Structure 1
């Protein structure tokens, strides 16, 4: 899948990788530039010498590179012909030798053939559209193959023509189902394909070289990337805290731009209308500017359209994941994602275990942050995760809470230093994380060095988007038996990258792996909760394990560490109470039904091109969504929606887009609400155990 070039519209979140397959190209055949051969040799040398995996570039990797590069260019097998692929086979076992010699001509020759095929295809489509919208038979019972990974390359131009006939027909039908008239559809598609042709003609040598080199780096792992000078400039700009936009991480996915994740507290997150895996198909400036179709656009160019000055508005036309394919338009007010917007915040709620009520403090932590500039200036008031959480803990102590939930859902990580120091607030002296480097040396310098500030009942709430530093903290709390970990299996990002300079650009390279004090790696497997919650995000498409070349899970020796609670005796009882409570809970029934429904939709292999069938499918989708929501509402004593339009209207109510921390609420967060009841049960069962002194684990 084409999911390797990730860009962010906010400061501090930019991962550079693969260019979109609709990247720009010049009209003349592209050729390597002077220094690209020596840069290729540098990249091969640094990968072999510095990468954690220590893999040598040889014939086997040459074959893998050949596959990866062709798949990166044409993942849907829609442009190349079988004869092209057969012709390219002469390079299958030679690419390694060529790269060592600084020869990248094969990569350019393959790309030039791709550019030729794509240019011919765009000319063909534009020629049809100039004569008017093709007269498709939407009564015909045929379908478009959605997943062509196992399909064969077209063996002839006529086979390719039929494939593209179906693709164009699908595009027309999708737009018809949104209510657009035929003339408007023709105009939109003509602009779309003319735009793709223009960007194809603008492609340059640096773009092709970056694409080819990143096909190589991805064979080592998904987080090692070659950054061309242009990409490096974007990367440095994003890390400078100077970008303004919507607060979303975007990635290329074939011809679409897809939302990878949202920044907690950012403008996109505040709308409540965008979710990971939603596709962005149009971008409009201000409240009434022209909506520009961005299907098939290069990711960089989509980012440039969405990025803008704080205080201005941008409109996104999206296809929501798991929906019926209907497009939605979302208005977002751009702003800087400031530290204070992502700062830790607290709330206090009351929960009962059926016998006694308890005051539960909730601390929401969107990221592991630190104001490095203020820290280096020795500003006594610099902001950081640990300082803010310590202040909130003091306030919660004054409010006499009985237990604390630390909410790390959607927390993609941040400062390792802060993850270590935060752990220090909850455990006494001891190791927090182990780091094994490419030279196999193991570092255990990240330790808790003080007595715990808070010693009471603790829960860590995680989900699939909790990654990196979040996993280090949650893993340490779990290994020390210091508190419960509740939610979903975390992302599994357990690797560390560093930047290596090159003659042209830089190489971001994986050199270390994180390991818990138990010896288990957080890589690939992530942190598994003691008490699981309903799955809301598909783990097969989101998370480290979704990458084909992700480094594997493994383990090293454990290090001695304390144990605070005998959780093994408590968890079975807590699970029984949790399962009994949620089996009939309307919100949990809805969440489970919703995930099942979205999974069924994601598993579709074909898309009907019959208009009546598609209309019926959309009606069935809408009715099922309405039925699930109304069952939930009726079970909660709420008035059901009369029809899908009323339900859809309620979902599109205005949500604030201004800055400031988001308030913690229970009414629209059944996961947090249930976590509160689990915590009440935990306190009731473990009140005595929480006061017992820690014991050193035996190995």
Structure 2
């Protein structure tokens, strides 16, 4: 008898429900009991349905009012919005469509268009009914998976030609529990197969999967009213834009701790992503950033303290995951993550990070010098790397005349570089997620005599123009600004202003597109982070959604379809307002085609770029895989091909540096672990993108010697068109 035939052997016990659910939802729970395997779990546990509180209802009413009357986007609560909230809520609760069935959804249809009216008046029960049924279905699915494991994973058949869809977000809901059973057999088979291919024995696989599913099951039984409320409110607030969100009282506490920078941890910003906790960005200078292995869009599967066994955190609340990762300085936490570029969720990687404080001095701007030999001419290029836009507000408020800030530090670095006789300057803003707005404004002022730097429009269409009022200029030579997809907010303001003024060239990849401003407003219960205004460049175009488009583009490993404002649901659109008068220091239109041609010629013969493009193509092929084979031989062949490619790319990079290649992938991974463990390891050779920025700067000088000083001779003053 096959596993598929065994699943009808006995019923899962129906869990009891207390009063409080509406009659229709109660009936849905009673009639949709699935057939499945009996897991060896504690059957004395029952799911206790959660119910809304009076405080939550009041907070809901306040949230609805603030969204309608103070948010930047004008959006009424309509029947259409009600349906969108319904869909977003289901996506949050079951985004991969692995718990609920179409039969379950049919029970919800009658409330689909009623949620909006209910949310206006604090009637939360419909949302809680949906949440309670989903939790019950999660429990049933996890018991089914545990039942499969109890039967023995050696009973699973890996000789068929089955395959499994990797991303089910756009798939249809399974029609009934029988179809869902078949799907979950595939999910368990996929998890077993992935671990077998990594050399894990069946006993360990069984232990790993049991620990994972039991941990999720425990969390499902421990659902709280606040979990349902926060999920429901964020589905609601997310209709206005992805940066507007509700913070429960507990989440508010974590948010305030993070904003004060007093947190000892790993230096990563996290958010909930369906049942996972996802890395949004790394704090510059923080332990995770310095360790180098954790990346944005990685999803955390488990957390281990020191040498202890890992705790599976799939399905955990965000605040609980944060508590688990947070810890005393110099202690080690190990995160098991699904890498952002993994072909499926069964591929994980363990990353050990030593906790520490995020120190301001480690976020500071730094400088370097590179020498370029071009024919008979040598160029000295200054490089200033700015990880974030920072200011020591405490020292500033205390009246310390030497307080640290981005602009002050960069001004001093420019003086040192000019003393070194640099011919031009490269400012590296890659991975700079923003920071203090006034620092972006002041930093622009180091490169222009004076003028507007950014426009800010609020919900009432009032426009505030920030300006550099200081006529002094710290640097008047040729300038290149490097950006990538992780350059956001204040970085985009600086890069956009430099581009609009014709003060320098932007080189790299399209920036994030975060062009909105949020404010945190207290509620009677928790807080509301709400978008209240929008950034616009001096040329009139918004940095929102579109970001800054580089003058010369360099491809990046970062997946734009997953990271960036335009990858987020309900992001505010790009638009433009009237430009403000500003100087235009140089018109690059006469030389930009030649600059691009020279750049492309260099890259066409560059082994570093060839290797980068090979890696991008490899990652893209991984991302484009929409299904995975459940046949052992076919999967093994695919797995070995992926490993060979990874090893080939790593060894090609080592050969460029004159280093010995690795014999096996295990050798590569051991070396990576050793490098990550040593936070003092540095790479003395600046990456080739920075060097290319220097070459572009040299090209600028060769094509037009007026760039020796492009601030003094202002070309013209105009209302430039939007970029």
Shift of 1:178: 2.5
Does the alignment pair 1:599 with 2:608?
Answer: no
Rounded Cα–Cα distance in structure 1 between residues aligned with 2:380 and 2:664: 40
Does the alignment pair 1:449 with 2:467?
Answer: no
Q: Which residue does 2:189 correspond to in 1?
A: 169
SS at 2:609 equivalent: helix
Q: Return the match for 1:281 from 274, 277, 301.
A: 301
Rounded Cα–Cα distance in structure 2 between residues aligned with 1:630 and 1:234: 42
SS at 1:219 equivalent: coil
Q: Return the match for 1:291 from 307, 310, 317.
A: 310
- 1:544-583 alignment to 2 at 5 Å? 544-583=565-604
* 8 Å contact from structure 2 (residues 485, 560) kept in 1: yes
Q: Return the match for 1:145 from 154, 165, 174.
A: 165
* 8 Å contact from structure 1 (residues 52, 437) kept in 2: yes
Shift of 1:300: 2.8
Q: Which residue does 1:320 correspond to in 2?
A: 339
Change (3 A) 1:278 1:70: closer
Shift of 1:354: 3.0
Q: Render the CA deviation track for 1:264-293: whole Å, top value 9, x for unaligned.
A: 32212222323333333332222x222333
Shift of 1:56: 0.8
* 8 Å contact from structure 2 (residues 542, 574) kept in 1: yes
Q: Which residue does 1:305 correspond to in 2?
A: 324
* 8 Å contact from structure 2 (residues 246, 528) kept in 1: yes
Q: Which residue does 1:5 correspond to in 2?
A: none
* 8 Å contact from structure 1 (residues 499, 507) kept in 2: yes
Q: Which residue does 2:702 correspond to in 1?
A: 684
Q: Which residue does 1:268 correspond to in 2?
A: 288
SS at 2:532 equivalent: strand
Rounded Cα–Cα distance in structure 2 between residues aligned with 1:698 and 1:399: 36
Change (3 A) 1:433 1:610: same
Q: Which residue does 1:6 correspond to in 2?
A: none
Q: Return the match for 1:227 from 234, 247, 251.
A: 247
- 1:315-354 alignment to 2 at 5 Å? 315-322=334-341, 327-354=348-375
Aligned residues: 671
Question: Taking CA–CA contacts closer than 8 Å with sequence separation of 6 or more, which of the two structures ends up with the larger relative contact order?
Answer: 1
Rounded Cα–Cα distance in structure 1 between residues aligned with 2:365 and 2:336: 32
Q: Which residue does 1:41 correspond to in 2?
A: 61
Does the alignment pair 1:83 with 2:103?
Answer: yes
Q: Which residue does 1:498 correspond to in 2?
A: 519
* 8 Å contact from structure 1 (residues 333, 658) kept in 2: no
Stretch of structure 1 that moved more, 440-449 or 614-623: 440-449
Q: Render the CA deviation track for 1:421-441: whole Å, top value 9, x for unaligned.
A: 111111111000001110001
Does the alignment pair 1:521 with 2:542?
Answer: yes
SS at 1:581 equivalent: helix
Rounded Cα–Cα distance in structure 2 between residues aligned with 1:50 and 1:134: 59
Does the alignment pair 1:92 with 2:112?
Answer: yes
Rounded Cα–Cα distance in structure 2 between residues aligned with 1:646 and 1:196: 34
Q: Which residue does 1:124 correspond to in 2?
A: 144
Shift of 1:323: 5.3
* 8 Å contact from structure 2 (residues 380, 424) kept in 1: yes
Shift of 1:605: 1.0
Rounded Cα–Cα distance in structure 2 between residues aligned with 1:153 and 1:462: 41
SS at 2:533 equivalent: strand
* 8 Å contact from structure 1 (residues 353, 681) kept in 2: no
Does the alignment pair 1:386 with 2:404?
Answer: no
Does the alignment pair 1:54 with 2:74?
Answer: yes
Q: Render the CA deviation track for 1:247-267: whole Å, top value 9, x for unaligned.
A: 222333344333332223221
Q: Render the CA deviation track for 1:644-670: whole Å, top value 9, x for unaligned.
A: 4444444444246558xx967435x12
Does the alignment pair 1:483 with 2:501?
Answer: no
Rounded Cα–Cα distance in structure 2 between residues aligned with 1:212 and 1:254: 13
* 8 Å contact from structure 2 (residues 216, 312) kept in 1: no
Q: Which residue does 2:220 correspond to in 1?
A: 200
Shift of 1:529: 0.7
Structure 2 residues without counterparts, runs of 5 or longer: 1-44
Change (3 A) 1:316 1:192: same
* 8 Å contact from structure 1 (residues 514, 523) kept in 2: yes
* 8 Å contact from structure 1 (residues 267, 657) kept in 2: no
SS at 1:538 equivalent: coil
SS at 1:444 equivalent: strand
Rounded Cα–Cα distance in structure 2 between residues aligned with 1:615 and 1:229: 48
Change (3 A) 1:281 1:168: same
Structure 1 residues without counterparts, runs of 5 or longer: 1-24
Shift of 1:401: 1.2
Rounded Cα–Cα distance in structure 2 between residues aligned with 1:379 and 1:657: 35
Q: Render the CA deviation track for 1:323-343: whole Å, top value 9, x for unaligned.
A: 576543332211111100100
Shift of 1:236: 0.7
* 8 Å contact from structure 1 (residues 284, 315) kept in 2: yes
Rounded Cα–Cα distance in structure 2 between residues aligned with 1:36 and 1:636: 59
Q: Return the match for 1:474 from 473, 481, 495.
A: 495
Q: Render the CA deviation track for 1:100-124: whole Å, top value 9, x for unaligned.
A: 2221111001111111111122222
SS at 1:466 equivalent: coil
SS at 1:301 equivalent: helix
Q: Render the CA deviation track for 1:447-504: whole Å, top value 9, x for unaligned.
A: 3433211111111111000000000000000000001111110000000001222221
Q: Which residue does 1:22 correspond to in 2?
A: none
Q: Which residue does 1:675 correspond to in 2?
A: 693
Does the alignment pair 1:69 with 2:84?
Answer: no
Change (3 A) 1:130 1:634: closer
Shift of 1:632: 5.3
* 8 Å contact from structure 1 (residues 523, 553) kept in 2: yes
Rounded Cα–Cα distance in structure 1 between residues aligned with 2:628 and 2:375: 50
Rounded Cα–Cα distance in structure 2 between residues aligned with 1:620 and 1:258: 28
Does the alignment pair 1:666 with 2:685?
Answer: yes
* 8 Å contact from structure 2 (residues 485, 510) kept in 1: yes
Shift of 1:355: 3.6
* 8 Å contact from structure 1 (residues 323, 621) kept in 2: no
